Amino acid sequence: MNWTKMTWIGALCVLLLAAQGVNAAEASLDALREGHPRLILTDEGLQQLKKTIAQDATAQDYYQRLIKLGDRLMQQKPVDYIIVGPRLLTQSRNCLERVYTYGLLYRLDGDRKWFDRAKQEVFAAIRFPDWNPSHFLDTAEMSHAIGIAYDWFYDQWTPEERSEIVDMLVKKGLTPAREGYENNAWWSHSEHNWNQVCNGGIGIGALAVADIQPELAGFLLKQSVQDMPLALKSYAPDGGWGEGPGYWHYATRYTVYFFAALDTALRTDFGLSDAEGLRGAGGFRIHSCGLIGMTFNYADAGSGAGAAHEMFWLAQRYNEPILAWHERETLKDDRISALDLIWYTPIGTDPASSGFARDALYRGINVAFSRSAWNDPKAIYLGFKGGDNKTNHSHLDLGCFVLDADGVRWALDLGGDDYNLPGYFGAQRWTYFRLNTQSHNTLIVNGGNQDPSAPAPIIGAYSSDDLAWAAADLSQAYPDLKMAQRGVAMIERSMVLIQDEIAPKTSADVQWGMLTDAEIETHGASATLSKSGEKLEATILSPAGASFEWIDGNPPKPQKQHEGAKKLVINLKGVDKPATIAVMLAPYRGKDAAPGIPMNVKPIDQWKQ
């Protein structure tokens, strides 16, 4: 071990922690709650939850849905040691969901079937040969699961069972974690989701056995509290998350798991939840979700919004009731979880009633959102990113946008592909269609990808009742261009302008593109997109003489396919002087109700400031 390196890293961590008001030296077990359960849901919390279920119709509905989920999960085989690619992660997550589900149901109704099935899961997991520490997320999530199971079912385990569970948690989870910390494992001090998942999962496992493994648990607790702020600073200054909404959910829920466990076990989170930006993290989640159950799914994210039980916890911790409203709305059409019931709160009203802004700019990650309304499912929704191609899980998508209108997603982001494709996170990453520039709604210059190291800062934004816009500098993304800027504007809250201003170094072929799964009819400088009985009109405002065409929007197999995917494009050949590409996208309202499209194109630097 390089002790000089470890000492330097430790000193750096202390400085970073001090800047955030977190003192790792105070992360001790002195205030450890005696007995069990001590994690997430204490017995006092359970009694309050029972009262809430008895008195609140929504909580009662969640409880009944959780029972049905538990019954469905019991029809599945217990977890097994199945590694796919480098990952045991599916099995770790299955174990975690089942432990929380069976554990909460048993604590609520005492039906022995829940404990009996949880016991099958736990003993299947602890008898795995290992928890796959080479892919440490797997180990951390399994440590979380076994820690909760040990804690919540403590009185049901025999002394012999407790001993075996603790021995295996220590051997397969906590000891590998200690070795990782002592050897400066990269996950411990990363600035993205691996940090929160690994530190949070291991921290929860350690708290479960802290009374009988105080030295080991104390060491792991200090490490977790010391290292997690290195990722928490990624929320600063305003709550955005560069890895996209899918990994926002993964990182944030583990952040919340750890905070909640610290609070119930030690009655403090050592100031971690005061980190800059965390108060705004739930707002980012709301803005990243459109009105048709789809997110602006940049990076390796799926488009489905899905439930996010951490929103209930965030709502209460930061006194942001709208976050709870959003999770309740999402749960009307999505799968319940035990944590949704545990953290449920009835507070909050809809965004329109709450005065929640329709537009948001997240300067920390250079991503902007706009919508024409909150409560209208046919409203226009626009997500736009500058961003940074170096961000973990990023695609080469600077300048990308998504667009919803009339209940249809017109401009798609396909999200990620199969993580087990060769070199997905390595040398072949930018050869895959969904990850490279070819599949994204941005410019392609000379047929190539954007620079994988390029950032694209948002250079201006504006919001008023009838106009919202944001603009990004994409110049560093395109080596063959001297300058590239993109502005997106929602005009009169009824149409969207996408405008690019470029200056080539010599001569360049430039393609403007928008991926869609709508049917496309092109008519020279205009095109009509049709889907689900709705239409979207696209009009080229600049340059004169340009026309639309469309190309196939799927890669060769075995890369993932998207049914009906095609790309609406404008191809400009041999551009050798500054040029503006401006396209208006407007929901079709019939000839008599067509919006008056402003045909004059103003330079981005003259857009209203």
Q: Please determine, for residue 424, whether its predicted confidence score (pLDDT) is greater than 50.
A: yes
Task: Decide if 329 is inside a domain.
Answer: yes
Tell me, yes or no, whether 511 and 430 share the same domain.
Answer: yes
Task: Decide if 178 is inside a domain.
Answer: yes
Neighbours of 125 (CB within 10 A): 29
Tell me, yes or no, whether 340 and 396 share the same domain.
Answer: no
Residue where a domain stops, chosen among 354, 378, 410: 354
Q: How far apart are CA 13 and CA 181, in angstroms?
A: 13
* Residue 595 confidence (pLDDT): 59
Q: How far apart are CA 323 and CA 313, in angstroms?
A: 9
Q: Averaged over 477-484, what is the pLDDT?
A: 98
- Reading phi first (left if > 0) and then psi (alpha if -120 to 50, else beta), residue 271 is in left
Q: What is the phi/psi pair of residue 579, to 5°?
A: -145, 155
Count Cα neighbours of 322 within 13 Å in the Cβ-side half-sphere. Answer: 18
Confidence of residue 496 (pLDDT cuts 50, 70, 90): very high
Tell me, yes or no, whether 192 and 102 share the same domain.
Answer: yes
Task: Decide if 534 is inside a domain.
Answer: yes
Q: Which amino acid is at 115?
A: F
Task: Decide if 226 is inside a domain.
Answer: yes
Alpha-carbon torsion, ordered 510, 512, 516, 522, to 10 deg: -100
Is residue 433 within 8 A of residue 559, CB to CB? The reply is: yes
**Where is 570: in which H helix or E strand?**
strand 566-575
Q: Averaged over 236-257, what is the pLDDT?
A: 98
Tell me, yes or no, whether 274 and 191 share the same domain.
Answer: yes
Q: How far apart are CA 558 and CA 85, in angstroms?
A: 16
The whole domain housing 503 covers 364-606
pLDDT by residue (tens digit) across 272-312? 999 999 999 999 999 999 999 999 999 999 999 999 999 99
Q: Please determine, for residue 521, whether its predicted confidence score (pLDDT) is greater than 60.
A: yes
Tell me, yes or no, whether 179 and 199 share the same domain.
Answer: yes
Task: Decide if 11 is inside a domain.
Answer: yes
Break the chain down into helix, strand, coil percent, rounded to 5.
Answer: 40, 20, 40
Those residues whose C-beta lies under 8 Å from the C-beta of residue 72, and which sit 6 or more positions away, are none
Task: Specify the CATH number for the domain of residue 260.
Answer: 1.50.10.100
Residue where a domain stops, chosen among 302, 326, 354: 354
Task: Specify the CATH number for the domain of residue 487.
Answer: 2.70.98.70
Confidence of residue 598 (pLDDT cuts 50, 70, 90): confident
pLDDT by residue (tens digit) across 558-582? 999 999 999 999 999 999 999 999 9
Is residue 526 within 8 A of residue 540, CB to CB? The reply is: yes
Mean residue pLDDT across the chain:
94
Residue 306 in tokens: 């899905």
Is residue 430 within 8 A of residue 455, CB to CB? The reply is: no
Q: Please determine, for residue 4, whether its predicted confidence score (pLDDT) is greater than 50.
A: no
The distance in angstroms from the start CA to the end CA of the chain is: 55
Task: Decide if 547 is inside a domain.
Answer: yes
* Residue 458 confidence (pLDDT): 98
Tell me, yes or no, whether 499 and 382 share the same domain.
Answer: yes
Tell me, yes or no, whether 229 and 316 share the same domain.
Answer: yes
Is residue 517 within 8 A of residue 412, CB to CB? The reply is: yes
Is residue 198 within 8 A of residue 136, CB to CB? The reply is: yes
Tell me, yes or no, whether 451 and 499 share the same domain.
Answer: yes
Q: How far apart are CA 440 and CA 288, in angstroms?
A: 18
Confidence of residue 597 (pLDDT cuts 50, 70, 90): confident
Neighbours of 486 (CB within 10 A): 26
pLDDT by residue (tens digit) across 329-362? 999 988 999 999 999 999 999 999 999 999 999 9
Token pair 């390089």: residue? 2
Residue where a domain stops, chosen among 309, 331, 354: 354
Task: Decide if 359 is inside a domain.
Answer: no
Q: Which amino acid is at 193?
A: N
Task: Decide if 156 is inside a domain.
Answer: yes
Tell me, yes or no, whether 141 and 257 share the same domain.
Answer: yes
Tell me, yes or no, whether 23 and 142 share the same domain.
Answer: yes
The C-alpha angle with vertex 449 and arms to 446 and 452, in degrees rounded to 5, equals 140
Tell me, yes or no, whether 295 and 372 share the same domain.
Answer: no
Tell me, yes or no, whether 347 and 387 share the same domain.
Answer: no
Tell me how many domains the chain contains. 2
